[in-house]
Structure 1
Protein backbone atom coordinates (compact mmCIF):
# COMPACT_ATOMS: atom_id res chain seq x y z
CA UNK A 1 0.00 0.00 0.00
CA UNK A 2 1.39 3.41 -0.90
CA UNK A 3 1.18 6.44 1.39
CA UNK A 4 -1.90 7.81 -0.37
CA UNK A 5 -3.88 4.58 -0.10
CA UNK A 6 -6.24 4.43 2.87
CA UNK A 7 -7.58 1.32 4.57
CA UNK A 8 -10.96 0.50 6.15
CA UNK A 9 -10.95 -2.65 8.28
CA UNK A 10 -14.31 -4.29 8.98
CA UNK A 11 -14.05 -6.80 11.82
CA UNK A 12 -16.96 -9.11 12.53
CA UNK A 13 -18.14 -12.05 14.58
CA UNK A 14 -21.44 -13.85 14.26
CA UNK A 15 -22.98 -17.17 15.25
CA UNK A 16 -26.35 -16.74 13.60
CA UNK A 17 -25.19 -14.73 10.56
CA UNK A 18 -26.87 -11.44 11.48
CA UNK A 19 -23.65 -9.54 12.25
CA UNK A 20 -21.95 -11.14 9.24
CA UNK A 21 -24.77 -9.93 6.97
CA UNK A 22 -24.44 -6.44 8.44
CA UNK A 23 -20.67 -6.49 7.91
CA UNK A 24 -21.14 -7.69 4.32
CA UNK A 25 -23.68 -4.93 3.58
CA UNK A 26 -21.29 -2.33 5.00
CA UNK A 27 -18.38 -3.81 3.02
CA UNK A 28 -20.36 -3.89 -0.24
CA UNK A 29 -21.51 -0.28 0.22
CA UNK A 30 -17.98 0.94 0.98
CA UNK A 31 -16.68 -0.88 -2.11
CA UNK A 32 -19.39 0.73 -4.22
CA UNK A 33 -18.42 4.22 -3.03
CA UNK A 34 -14.74 3.43 -3.64
CA UNK A 35 -15.56 2.37 -7.20
CA UNK A 36 -17.74 5.45 -7.84
CA UNK A 37 -14.91 7.68 -6.64
CA UNK A 38 -12.30 5.77 -8.64
CA UNK A 39 -10.16 5.21 -5.54
CA UNK A 40 -7.70 2.41 -4.86
CA UNK A 41 -8.21 2.32 -1.09
CA UNK A 42 -8.16 -1.01 0.70
CA UNK A 43 -11.36 -2.34 2.28
CA UNK A 44 -10.96 -5.54 4.27
CA UNK A 45 -13.66 -7.62 5.96
CA UNK A 46 -12.16 -10.06 8.44
CA UNK A 47 -13.50 -12.53 10.98
CA UNK A 48 -12.46 -11.40 14.46
CA UNK A 49 -10.18 -14.38 15.11
CA UNK A 50 -8.36 -13.91 11.77
CA UNK A 51 -7.28 -10.29 12.33
CA UNK A 52 -3.55 -9.68 12.70
CA UNK A 53 -1.88 -6.88 14.61
CA UNK A 54 -0.23 -5.49 11.46
CA UNK A 55 -3.64 -5.10 9.81
CA UNK A 56 -4.93 -3.14 12.79
CA UNK A 57 -1.90 -0.88 12.86
CA UNK A 58 -2.11 -0.22 9.11
CA UNK A 59 -5.86 0.49 9.04
CA UNK A 60 -7.03 4.09 8.88
CA UNK A 61 -10.58 3.33 10.10
CA UNK A 62 -12.44 0.47 11.78
CA UNK A 63 -15.95 -0.94 11.69
CA UNK A 64 -16.81 -3.49 14.38
CA UNK A 65 -19.82 -5.78 13.74
CA UNK A 66 -20.86 -8.15 16.49
CA UNK A 67 -23.85 -9.66 18.24
CA UNK A 68 -24.90 -8.97 21.77
CA UNK A 69 -24.90 -12.10 23.89
CA UNK A 70 -26.35 -11.92 27.40
CA UNK A 71 -26.14 -8.09 27.46
CA UNK A 72 -22.44 -8.10 26.43
CA UNK A 73 -20.32 -8.36 23.32
CA UNK A 74 -20.07 -11.87 21.99
CA UNK A 75 -17.19 -13.80 23.50
CA UNK A 76 -15.24 -14.00 20.23
CA UNK A 77 -15.45 -10.23 19.69
CA UNK A 78 -14.48 -9.58 23.30
CA UNK A 79 -11.52 -11.95 22.82
CA UNK A 80 -10.51 -9.90 19.75
CA UNK A 81 -10.41 -6.75 21.87
CA UNK A 82 -8.62 -8.54 24.73
CA UNK A 83 -6.00 -9.94 22.34
CA UNK A 84 -5.03 -6.57 20.86
CA UNK A 85 -5.96 -3.99 23.47
CA UNK A 86 -2.51 -3.30 24.93
CA UNK A 87 -0.64 -3.67 21.63
CA UNK A 88 -2.79 -0.92 20.10
CA UNK A 89 -2.94 1.33 23.16
CA UNK A 90 -1.10 4.52 22.25
CA UNK A 91 -0.77 3.54 18.58
CA UNK A 92 -4.11 4.27 16.91
CA UNK A 93 -5.46 7.43 18.57
CA UNK A 94 -7.87 9.56 16.58
CA UNK A 95 -8.69 7.02 13.90
CA UNK A 96 -12.36 6.88 12.91
CA UNK A 97 -14.56 3.97 13.87
CA UNK A 98 -18.15 2.85 14.06
CA UNK A 99 -20.04 -0.24 15.17
CA UNK A 100 -22.99 -2.37 14.24
CA UNK A 101 -24.50 -4.51 16.99
CA UNK A 102 -27.08 -7.19 16.24
CA UNK A 103 -29.35 -8.06 19.14
CA UNK A 104 -32.48 -9.99 19.91
CA UNK A 105 -34.04 -7.19 21.92
CA UNK A 106 -31.74 -4.49 23.29
CA UNK A 107 -28.08 -4.32 22.26
CA UNK A 108 -27.19 -1.37 24.49
CA UNK A 109 -24.96 -3.40 26.81
CA UNK A 110 -22.76 -4.65 23.97
CA UNK A 111 -22.61 -1.21 22.37
CA UNK A 112 -21.60 0.46 25.65
CA UNK A 113 -18.90 -2.16 26.19
CA UNK A 114 -17.51 -1.66 22.68
CA UNK A 115 -17.60 2.13 22.99
CA UNK A 116 -15.71 2.00 26.30
CA UNK A 117 -12.98 -0.09 24.70
CA UNK A 118 -12.75 2.29 21.74
CA UNK A 119 -12.63 5.25 24.14
CA UNK A 120 -9.62 3.61 25.81
CA UNK A 121 -7.95 3.39 22.41
CA UNK A 122 -8.89 7.05 21.85
CA UNK A 123 -10.67 6.22 18.60
CA UNK A 124 -12.97 8.80 17.06
CA UNK A 125 -16.60 7.69 16.66
CA UNK A 126 -17.15 9.34 13.25
CA UNK A 127 -20.35 7.49 12.37
CA UNK A 128 -23.08 6.89 14.92
CA UNK A 129 -23.19 3.15 15.71
CA UNK A 130 -26.41 1.24 15.09
CA UNK A 131 -28.19 -1.63 16.77
CA UNK A 132 -30.10 -4.01 14.51
CA UNK A 133 -32.84 -5.72 16.50
CA UNK A 134 -33.82 -9.18 15.27
CA UNK A 135 -36.68 -9.51 17.80
CA UNK A 136 -35.48 -12.95 18.85
CA UNK A 137 -36.94 -13.86 22.23
CA UNK A 138 -37.34 -17.62 22.50
CA UNK A 139 -34.48 -20.10 22.70
CA UNK A 140 -35.33 -21.34 19.20
CA UNK A 141 -35.43 -17.80 17.75
CA UNK A 142 -32.19 -16.82 19.45
CA UNK A 143 -30.27 -19.86 18.18
CA UNK A 144 -31.75 -19.86 14.66
CA UNK A 145 -29.87 -18.44 11.67
CA UNK A 146 -30.98 -14.85 11.05
CA UNK A 147 -31.92 -12.97 7.93
CA UNK A 148 -31.74 -9.19 8.28
CA UNK A 149 -34.48 -7.14 6.69
CA UNK A 150 -33.85 -4.94 3.65
CA UNK A 151 -34.15 -1.91 5.93
CA UNK A 152 -31.56 -3.30 8.36
CA UNK A 153 -29.19 -4.11 5.51
CA UNK A 154 -29.65 -0.57 4.18
CA UNK A 155 -28.79 0.84 7.62
CA UNK A 156 -25.63 -1.28 7.75
CA UNK A 157 -24.73 -0.18 4.22
CA UNK A 158 -25.13 3.45 5.25
CA UNK A 159 -22.70 2.97 8.14
CA UNK A 160 -20.15 1.33 5.83
CA UNK A 161 -20.38 3.91 3.06
CA UNK A 162 -20.32 6.85 5.46
CA UNK A 163 -17.33 5.52 7.39
CA UNK A 164 -15.47 4.91 4.12
CA UNK A 165 -16.25 8.48 3.03
CA UNK A 166 -14.38 9.73 6.14
CA UNK A 167 -11.10 8.21 4.91
Structure 2
Protein backbone atom coordinates (compact mmCIF):
# COMPACT_ATOMS: atom_id res chain seq x y z
CA UNK A 1 0.00 0.00 0.00
CA UNK A 2 1.29 3.44 -0.89
CA UNK A 3 2.33 5.75 1.89
CA UNK A 4 1.55 9.10 0.25
CA UNK A 5 -1.31 10.34 -1.95
CA UNK A 6 -0.99 12.79 -4.80
CA UNK A 7 -4.30 14.22 -5.97
CA UNK A 8 -4.55 15.61 -9.50
CA UNK A 9 -7.58 17.87 -9.97
CA UNK A 10 -7.54 18.82 -13.63
CA UNK A 11 -10.21 20.15 -15.95
CA UNK A 12 -9.97 18.39 -19.32
CA UNK A 13 -12.75 19.49 -21.69
CA UNK A 14 -10.83 18.78 -24.92
CA UNK A 15 -8.59 16.09 -26.36
CA UNK A 16 -5.49 18.20 -25.71
CA UNK A 17 -6.38 19.06 -22.12
CA UNK A 18 -7.22 15.40 -21.50
CA UNK A 19 -3.79 14.58 -22.85
CA UNK A 20 -2.30 17.00 -20.30
CA UNK A 21 -4.15 15.40 -17.38
CA UNK A 22 -3.14 11.93 -18.55
CA UNK A 23 0.46 13.13 -18.86
CA UNK A 24 0.43 14.40 -15.27
CA UNK A 25 -0.95 11.06 -14.13
CA UNK A 26 1.63 9.12 -16.17
CA UNK A 27 4.51 11.15 -14.75
CA UNK A 28 3.25 10.83 -11.19
CA UNK A 29 2.71 7.08 -11.61
CA UNK A 30 6.31 6.35 -12.57
CA UNK A 31 7.13 2.73 -11.62
CA UNK A 32 10.15 3.77 -9.53
CA UNK A 33 7.89 5.71 -7.15
CA UNK A 34 6.26 2.88 -5.22
CA UNK A 35 5.43 4.90 -2.10
CA UNK A 36 3.03 7.27 -3.89
CA UNK A 37 -0.53 6.59 -4.95
CA UNK A 38 -1.84 9.03 -7.56
CA UNK A 39 -5.44 9.89 -8.43
CA UNK A 40 -6.83 12.10 -11.19
CA UNK A 41 -10.29 13.38 -10.35
CA UNK A 42 -12.06 15.96 -12.54
CA UNK A 43 -12.88 19.13 -10.56
CA UNK A 44 -16.64 18.66 -10.73
CA UNK A 45 -16.22 15.22 -9.12
CA UNK A 46 -13.52 16.06 -6.56
CA UNK A 47 -14.55 17.16 -3.10
CA UNK A 48 -13.26 18.03 0.34
CA UNK A 49 -12.72 14.39 1.33
CA UNK A 50 -10.37 13.93 -1.64
CA UNK A 51 -8.33 16.95 -0.56
CA UNK A 52 -8.29 15.85 3.08
CA UNK A 53 -6.90 12.45 2.02
CA UNK A 54 -4.16 14.01 -0.13
CA UNK A 55 -0.54 14.69 0.80
CA UNK A 56 -0.07 16.99 -2.21
CA UNK A 57 -2.25 18.37 -5.01
CA UNK A 58 -1.62 19.17 -8.66
CA UNK A 59 -4.19 21.46 -10.23
CA UNK A 60 -4.83 21.81 -13.94
CA UNK A 61 -7.11 24.29 -15.67
CA UNK A 62 -7.88 25.91 -18.95
CA UNK A 63 -7.85 29.66 -19.34
CA UNK A 64 -11.47 30.72 -19.80
CA UNK A 65 -12.03 34.41 -20.56
CA UNK A 66 -8.88 35.27 -18.62
CA UNK A 67 -9.91 33.18 -15.61
CA UNK A 68 -9.73 29.58 -14.39
CA UNK A 69 -12.29 27.09 -15.67
CA UNK A 70 -15.71 27.22 -14.05
CA UNK A 71 -15.19 23.60 -13.03
CA UNK A 72 -12.04 24.40 -11.03
CA UNK A 73 -13.75 27.44 -9.47
CA UNK A 74 -16.64 25.17 -8.46
CA UNK A 75 -14.13 22.77 -6.85
CA UNK A 76 -12.68 25.63 -4.80
CA UNK A 77 -16.15 26.89 -3.85
CA UNK A 78 -17.09 23.48 -2.46
CA UNK A 79 -13.76 22.67 -0.81
CA UNK A 80 -12.41 25.95 0.53
CA UNK A 81 -13.99 26.10 3.98
CA UNK A 82 -14.13 22.35 4.70
CA UNK A 83 -10.33 22.04 4.16
CA UNK A 84 -9.16 25.52 5.22
CA UNK A 85 -8.01 24.74 8.75
CA UNK A 86 -7.08 21.10 8.14
CA UNK A 87 -4.84 21.29 5.05
CA UNK A 88 -2.68 24.37 5.59
CA UNK A 89 0.76 23.75 4.14
CA UNK A 90 -0.49 21.28 1.51
CA UNK A 91 2.15 21.09 -1.24
CA UNK A 92 0.60 22.24 -4.52
CA UNK A 93 1.38 22.98 -8.14
CA UNK A 94 -0.60 24.32 -11.07
CA UNK A 95 -0.58 24.07 -14.82
CA UNK A 96 -2.65 26.37 -17.02
CA UNK A 97 -3.49 25.66 -20.65
CA UNK A 98 -3.68 29.24 -21.87
CA UNK A 99 -4.67 30.28 -25.35
CA UNK A 100 -3.64 33.82 -24.42
CA UNK A 101 -1.15 34.70 -21.67
CA UNK A 102 -2.67 32.96 -18.63
CA UNK A 103 -1.98 35.89 -16.29
CA UNK A 104 -5.53 36.31 -14.99
CA UNK A 105 -5.96 32.57 -14.52
CA UNK A 106 -2.71 32.24 -12.63
CA UNK A 107 -3.49 35.25 -10.43
CA UNK A 108 -6.97 33.93 -9.57
CA UNK A 109 -5.68 30.52 -8.51
CA UNK A 110 -2.76 32.04 -6.59
CA UNK A 111 -5.20 34.23 -4.64
CA UNK A 112 -7.29 31.24 -3.59
CA UNK A 113 -4.25 29.15 -2.68
CA UNK A 114 -2.82 32.01 -0.63
CA UNK A 115 -6.07 32.03 1.35
CA UNK A 116 -5.84 28.26 1.83
CA UNK A 117 -2.20 28.65 2.89
CA UNK A 118 -1.04 25.89 0.57
CA UNK A 119 2.65 25.75 -0.34
CA UNK A 120 3.84 26.04 -3.93
CA UNK A 121 6.37 23.40 -4.94
CA UNK A 122 7.26 25.44 -8.04
CA UNK A 123 6.04 28.42 -10.03
CA UNK A 124 2.81 27.74 -11.95
CA UNK A 125 3.39 26.19 -15.37
CA UNK A 126 1.61 28.31 -17.98
CA UNK A 127 1.32 26.62 -21.38
CA UNK A 128 0.75 29.59 -23.70
CA UNK A 129 -0.36 29.91 -27.30
CA UNK A 130 -1.19 27.28 -29.91
CA UNK A 131 -0.91 23.62 -28.88
CA UNK A 132 2.59 22.15 -28.75
CA UNK A 133 3.43 18.52 -28.04
CA UNK A 134 6.03 19.79 -25.56
CA UNK A 135 3.16 20.87 -23.30
CA UNK A 136 2.35 17.23 -22.49
CA UNK A 137 6.02 16.53 -21.75
CA UNK A 138 6.22 19.51 -19.39
CA UNK A 139 3.10 18.42 -17.49
CA UNK A 140 4.35 14.83 -17.30
CA UNK A 141 7.59 16.14 -15.80
CA UNK A 142 5.62 18.23 -13.29
CA UNK A 143 3.65 15.13 -12.21
CA UNK A 144 6.87 13.15 -11.89
CA UNK A 145 8.56 15.85 -9.79
CA UNK A 146 5.62 16.13 -7.43
CA UNK A 147 5.40 12.36 -6.93
CA UNK A 148 9.19 12.07 -6.56
CA UNK A 149 9.09 14.80 -3.91
CA UNK A 150 6.46 12.88 -1.97
CA UNK A 151 8.29 9.58 -2.48
CA UNK A 152 11.58 10.98 -1.16
CA UNK A 153 9.98 12.84 1.74
CA UNK A 154 10.94 16.28 0.42
CA UNK A 155 7.27 17.30 0.13
TM-score by length of 1: 0.84
Q: Where in structure 2 are the equivalents of 1:6-155 lying within 5 Å?
A: 6-32=4-30, 35-37=31-33, 39-135=34-130, 148-155=131-138
By how many angstroms is 1:163 displaced? 1.1
- Equivalent-residue separation in structure 2 for 1:153 and 1:100 (angstroms): 11
Divergent runs of 4+, >2 A? 14-20
Maintained 8 Å contact 2:101/2:129: no
By how many angstroms is 1:76 displaced? 1.2
TM-score by length of 2: 0.90
Gaps of 5+ in 1: 136-147
By how many angstroms is 1:52 displaced? 2.7
Maintained 8 Å contact 1:19/1:100: no
- Equivalent-residue separation in structure 1 for 2:72 and 2:44 (angstroms): 8
RMSD across aligned positions (CA): 1.5
Gaps of 5+ in 2: 151-155
- Equivalent-residue separation in structure 2 for 1:14 and 1:114 (angstroms): 17
- Equivalent-residue separation in structure 1 for 2:104 and 2:19 (angstroms): 21
SS of aligned partner of 1:73:
coil
Maintained 8 Å contact 1:18/1:102: no
- What is the match of residue 138 of structure 1? none
Maintained 8 Å contact 1:20/1:65: no
